[in-house]
Amino acid sequence: MKNDDLIARSYNTIAGNYEEIVEIDKALEYYDKSVYHFEKASNDTLKAAVFNNIGNIYFYRKKDFPKAIDYYNQSIAISEKINNVYSVVLSKLNLTSLYFEEKEYKKGIVHLDYVEKNRDKIRIVDVQGYLYILLGKKYHYLKEYEQAEFNFKEAIRIGEENNSKIYLSDSYNDYSKFLFDVGKHEEAYTFLEKHQILKNEIFDLEKIKNAKIIGMDIALDESKRELSAINKEKLLQSENLKKTKIIVSLILVFLMLMMFLLYILYRNNIFRRKVNDYLEVKNEELKIAKEKAEEASKLKTQFISTISHELRTPLYGVVGITNMLSDEHKELADSPHLNSLKFSARYLLSLVNDLLQINKIEENKVVLENLTMNIHDEINMVSNSLSFIANRNSNKVVTMIDDSIPDYLVGDKLRLSQILMNLVSNALKFTQNGEVRIKANLEKREGTFCFVKFEVEDTGVGIAEKDLSKIFDKFVQIDRKEDDYQGAGLGLSIVKKLVTIFKSEIFVESEEGKGTKFTFTIAFDSDMTKVNEIINDIKVDLSSDMVYKVLVVEDNKINQMVTRKIMEKNNFKTVIVDDGYAAMEALSKEQFDVVLMDINMPLINGFDTTRLIRKKGITIPIIALTAFAKDEISEEAISAGMNDVLIKPFEPSKLIYSIETLVKRNND
Ligand code: ADP
């Protein structure tokens, strides 16, 4: 900026110099350059002055009036814009002079009026004198001779006072013309002469000036050289400046980027720390929740096994005594009370068993066993054992078994009969005076595997569409009426879980008022070598009629009685003791074939008693009779030295079978 102003001023000076030595084109060239730099420097005052100077060149030197007018007007416009009245006055004076020369007086007078109004702004004497000349010309044109005379005379006075030769020469000339016009020829001649003398003087001065011009040229060259040096330096500086600017901006951008990255890193860190803290808290909470859940699950399992143990112990008594009653008192066989007692006892037992079963399945403790089976036998067994309910509701049970199903299959018949029992008993419960069909069809064979499709269909009350999805859930009973039937809503959920263990799926179709149909398919192996292997494995010599001596260790009086009855029914001799120490004593005095040991007893439990017996070197078979769930205690029972575990209430035949097998093995 500063440089531009300096350059502009220098160009202006050079242009002025060229003008002085009448190198007009050069002068114009430098004025142009000067305008360019003033523009860059935004110096309007000087730009206006340069336009005025260029106007002067076109007017006085080149006599190109239109261009001169154009430059004056541009100068005026700029000066007006920046409110520089002095500059406007100068350009307007020049413009007036031009129009007067062109004899366009009216146009000139417009500008001259402006100058006159602002004549107090004129600071240079020559210019004041010049104004008088132009005013003189104006009034001369308007034929206001008095005014014209006055102004010409004022112009001459100022010129003479200040010895301004050029302008005085003009004043003489114009005044002489005026005098000539108004008929004052003599006076006109005098002033013309004065004008001539001055003109000559000026001419001489011009000559002297020309002599100086060569010297000026050198000075001019010098200043041109200086100017180009400044220009070059300026260029260099601006290039350096540009480079520095680029480097600085790059550094700035880089710094900003770094700051931004740092900020993001910082934010991320905070966020990560927060998330970490949050996760740690949640982890801790989860750990606590997991421990609680495990604790709860353990407690639940414990609770269920304790409750079922507590229930099974008295149930052993109830079921056993009921059986004894009906065995010993044949006359009571038809007693409705005894039948109800039997039914209730069995129902209670099945409920406890169901609960245990669900618990076991949910803990993934159920493993299917491979047993040989016959579909006819299984289905008949189910239908026979439910004949009581069938009769009660006046239902007919129809079994349809596909003849192409092999007679011997390998599979878990206990679990299968459990599924069928639940489905058929439901069908019988929810049907009155109807029919329940149990069907088994050979769906397909794959290698040695037979896929048997079972259907349990009834003509009962049916299940509403909306309830179909719920019936397999635990403890769900739909629209149960008071006198309907007994049940805990566990049957179908056990069925579904068992079918899943068989790697299958159960389907239900039902229509309210028409009946219900449950369908599922199970694959059984029919490989005869497997069947034979299993049969050989369980071959038992049931022909023996041995009379064994049995020591029963049991604290519960009712259970003592039930076990004694079972033993006596098989002609086994029985000695009963109340606790483990009494058992030790009995064993030391007498010879026994087998010990039936309760686990949960006061003073010393069944496990510890067994350990004591084994410590003494007695190898007699010991069978645990317990109300605990088998898998809970079998490990400890075996490690304590017991030979078998039976869960109360058990089928008497199972106990006899176990006794005979163990005693025989011990005696071999
Ligand atoms: P529970 O029989 O002990 O009530 P289940 O789980 O065996 O429990 O059955 C659940 C419900 O499904 C029953 O309460 C009954 O509403 C409905 N249901 C089951 N089987 C049948 C059927 N064959 N006909 C009509 N409704 C049935």
pLDDT digits (tens, 9 = 90+) for 54-74: 898 898 888 889 999 999 999
Query: Is 334 strand, coil or helix?
Result: coil
> Ligand 1 within 6 A of 506 CB?
no
> Ligand 1 within 6 A of 317 CB?
no
Expressed in angstroms, the distance from the first to the final Cα of the chain is 126
d(CA 101, CA 177): 13
> Ligand 1 within 6 A of 196 CB?
no
Most confident of the following: 38-47, 130-139, 316-325: 130-139
Q: How confident is the model at residue 357 (pLDDT cuts 50, 70, 90)?
A: confident
Q: Which of 395, 463, 482, 497 to mutate to test the pocket of ligand 1 (most atoms within 8 A of CB)?
A: 463
**Which is nearest to 400 in space by CA: 421, 413, 383, 418?**
383
Q: Give the CATH fold of the 4-196 domain.
A: 1.25.40
CATH annotation of 549-667: 3.40.50.2300
**Mean per-residue pLDDT, 136-162:** 90
Q: How confident is the model at residue 598 (pLDDT cuts 50, 70, 90)?
A: very high
**Mean per-residue pLDDT, 546-565:** 87
d(CA 83, CA 89): 11
> Ligand 1 within 6 A of 515 CB?
no
Q: Which of 40-44, 147-151, 304-308, 605-609 has the lowest mean pLDDT?
A: 304-308
How remote is the CA of residue 315 from the centroid of ligand 1, in Å? Answer: 26
Residue 100: how many CB atoms within 10 A of its CB? 21
Strand partners, 195: none
Question: Where along the chain do its domains lie?
Answer: 4-196, 367-537, 549-667
Q: Specify the pLDDT at position 282.
A: 92
pLDDT one-digit tens code per residue, 201-231:
877 776 666 545 444 454 566 667 777 777 7
Provide CB contacts within 8 A for 372, sequence distance 6+. 408, 409, 410, 531, 534, 535
Residue 577 confidence (pLDDT) above 80: yes
**Mean per-residue pLDDT, 260-285:** 93
Containing 595, the helix (H) or strand (E) segment is strand 594-598
pLDDT one-digit tens code per residue, 429-448:
899 999 999 999 999 999 99
Question: What sign does the dihedral 619-625-630-635 (CA atoms) show?
Answer: negative
pLDDT one-digit tens code per residue, 450-502:
999 999 999 999 999 988 888 888 666 666 544 444 566 788 988 998 999 99
Indicate which residue's Cα is closest to atom 19 of ligand 1.
426
Residue 644 confidence (pLDDT) above 70: yes
CATH annotation of 367-537: 3.30.565.10
Strand partners, 625: 598, 646
Residue 306 confidence (pLDDT) above 70: yes
Domain pair 4-196 / 549-667, same fold = no
pTM over 0.85: no
pLDDT one-digit tens code per residue, 358-375:
777 777 777 777 878 889
Question: What sign does the dihedral 84-85-88-90 (CA atoms) show?
Answer: negative
